[in-house]
Amino acid sequence: MRRRIDRYREYLKTSRAYEIARRLFVMNAFDGALTIMGVVIGAHFSGVSDPHIIITAGFAGALAMGISGISGAYLAERAERKRDLRKLEMAMLKNLNNTNYARATRFASIIVAVVDGISPALSAAILVMPYFFVPEISMQWAFYASLILGLAVLFTLGIFLARISDERPVVSGIQMIIVGIITIIIVGLLAK
């Protein structure tokens, strides 16, 4: 088992999939959070009083984003990596299909696809969670809690980005929150 883990780590290093997966994680978690914020705001201003409707819509959206992310990223990443492998083969005048490099490129396509699909679904699921506590809390409080969780997800993503780029975490987190607040205002105005 340890050998397999080491091999996969080597594949990730060789293929540089870490960098791509990291970018996709942030971008798609951001998309998932903002998308479900829109769903929650739209449902709230439409007068939805049944938490199961929001939970179902939220998880359906999360599932759709996950399936779209996994399949779209896999197909796109696989195509790009196959093209790069073929170019390398042409330059080397050698078939590389059974090499560690070829295995690393195939593994990278899978990892990137999984990260691409899971990240928006995960952030979307977080925003729907308060609705599981209705009727212990009111729909109004579930709405506010969902938006607060959405802003917390965005802030966390900002901190994550700041660590990657060696910037100030709080500033980066606040920038992400500002985008979330702008989204809340615009969607809220349109949904009224």
Taking the domains of the chain in order of start, what are their residue ranges?
2-191
pLDDT tens, position by position, 122-162: 999 999 999 999 999 999 999 999 999 999 999 999 999 99
More confident residue, 4 or 32: 32
The phi and psi torsions of 66 (rounded to 5 degrees) equal -65, -45
Burial of 22 (0-12, 13-18, 19+ CB in 10 A): middle
Provide the pLDDT confidence category of residue 175 given band limits of 50, 70 and 90: very high
The reported pLDDT for the residue numbered 48 is: 94
Instruction: State the pTM of this model.
Output: 0.86
- What is each CA distance from 21 to 70, 73, 98, 109, 151, in whole angstroms? 12, 10, 24, 10, 22
CB distance 127 to 33 below 8 Å: yes
Please identify which residue in the block is written with the tokens 């679904």. 121
The reported pLDDT for the residue numbered 37 is: 95
